[in-house]
Amino acid sequence: MNDLAKSLRSQLRLPVMAGPMFIASTADLVIAQCKAGIVGSMPALNPRSTDALDADIARIKSEVGDRPFAINLVAHRTNSRLDADLAVVLKHKVPIVVLALAANPDLVRELQANGSLVFQDVAKNHHARKCAEMGVDGIIALTSGAGGHTGFISPFALAAEIREWWDGLLILSGAIATGRSVLAAEALGADLAYIGSPFLASTEANTQPGFKKMVVDCSADDIVVTDCFTGVDATFLRPSLIENGLDPANLARTEGKAINIDGGGDNAKAWKEIWSAGQGIGAVKKSGPAADYIDWLAEDYSAARKALAV
Ligand SMILES: Cc1cc2nc3c(=O)[nH]c(=O)nc-3n(C[C@H](O)[C@H](O)[C@H](O)COP(=O)(O)O)c2cc1C
């Protein structure tokens, strides 16, 4: 195991990092995740303004102390808050920055020189190579079944392809929701498992009660993958599509062009009212504090290790 993985894992109860989730992840969720022993995370855009982001990060730092947490920055020219949010992230020396979209090597270097670790998510081996060339500290492999903008390659294939040449920090995602699956991710060569969707049902998540209930009630069969809202394949809960008057069997493929179902210039409705989750939610049996789910995850992880005598 590489030194960074060893050092991160020594600070955690479980080899798990939370995936940042648009709208859903809150500062309270990050604090709960970190206190329960995993890496907590949140998109920079979730607080309403850069000032609110500043206040949230200050609160997270004062609550979690030295525990590692991550902020997700959309490093794309369409993100009008990028420069201001970046300044806040630099000011607070956020321990881990997860970059999304069109990251550039100068940004990676600037964050690293300021003391942050930089991770980037990828869905293909050749994207992982580009990230390695940019000098990122950690590669997050998004594989099939992942919530949000999903991956489409099997975790067996993608982890193996990346591990052939990458001995740095590897984080694996895609429907990981049980302790047994966390152990399986390690067996595939990952240093950490990346878990998003189960936290949609957490008390601390900014998700409506109906969304939390749908996550508890649904399973892999209920997940529909479509590019029709954002122009990129993403996972949505079938009952939520139906509740919004859409026919899950007849969603047009847009091949890169998003439909603005709210008639506006962004796709927020696709995340706010049409709810996204990944295939792992069958493991989520109740809504409650994030710490309860993480406690269960830790127990399941120990039981899996015991069963396999590892
Ligand atoms: C509702 C939702 C919103 C998400 N929003 C973001 C986001 O803003 N930024 C990001 O990097 N990933 C986002 N993701 C992806 C997660 O960070 C993570 O990669 C994914 O949830 C892992 O798969 P899992 O849900 O099967 O655990 C989102 C996922 C979901 C389910």
Q: Which of 17, 21, 208 to mutate to test the pocket of ligand 1 (most atoms within 8 A of CB)?
A: 21
DSSP labels, 76-122: STT-TTHHHHHHHHHHTT-SEEEEESS--HHHHHHHHHTT-EEEEEE
pLDDT, tens digit, 9 for 90 and up, residues 61-114: 999 999 999 999 998 888 999 999 999 999 999 999 999 866 689 999 999 999
Determine what percent of the chain falls in helix, strand and coil, rounding each to the nearest 5.
Answer: 45, 15, 40
Average pLDDT in the 14-32 region?
98
From residue 16, alpha-carbon distances to 210, 220, 231 in Å are: 27, 21, 30
pLDDT at 261: 44
Given pLDDT bands bounded at 50, 70 and 90, which one contains residue 239?
A: very high
> Is the Cβ–Cβ distance between 111 and 136 less than 8 Å?
no
Tally of CB atoms within 10 A around 157: 13
Is 40 close to ligand 1, i.e. is its CB under 6 Å away? no
How many residues are listed for the chain in this entry? 310
CA atoms of 44 and 58, how far apart (whole Å): 13
Q: Which of 197, 208, 272 to mutate to test the pocket of ligand 1 (most atoms within 8 A of CB)?
A: 197
From residue 46, alpha-carbon distances to 50, 68, 122 in Å are: 10, 19, 22
Q: How far is C-alpha 218 from the geometric centre of its chain's CA atoms?
A: 20
pLDDT, tens digit, 9 for 90 and up, residues 77-87: 889 999 999 99
Average pLDDT, the chain: 94
35 closest CA partner among 309, 310, 289? 289
The percentage of residues in the chain with a pLDDT greater than 90, rounded to a whole number, is 87
CA atoms of 281 and 223, how far apart (whole Å): 9
Given pLDDT bands bounded at 50, 70 and 90, which one contains residue 267?
A: low
The DSSP symbol for 279 reads G
Structure tokens at 230: 């954002």
The domain limits of the chain are 3-206+286-304, 219-272
Domain 3-206+286-304 = CATH 3.40.50.720: no
Q: Could you tell me the distance, in angstroms and rounded to a whole number, from the CA of residue 197 to the centre of ligand 1? A: 7
Residue 264 predicted with pLDDT over 60 = no
- SS3 state of residue 257: coil
CA atoms of 147 and 175, how far apart (whole Å): 7
Average pLDDT in the 297-301 region?
98
The percentage of residues in the chain with a pLDDT greater than 70, rounded to a whole number, is 94
* Ligand 1 atom at shortest distance from the alpha carbon of 18: 17
Q: What is the pTM of this model?
A: 0.96
- SS3 state of residue 248: helix
Residue 203 predicted with pLDDT over 60 = yes
Residue 265 predicted with pLDDT over 70 = no
Least confident of 112-121, 184-193, 267-276, 299-308: 267-276
User: What residue type is assigned to position 39 of the chain?
Assistant: V
Is 277 close to ligand 1, i.e. is its CB under 6 Å away? yes
136 closest CA partner among 169, 172, 102? 169
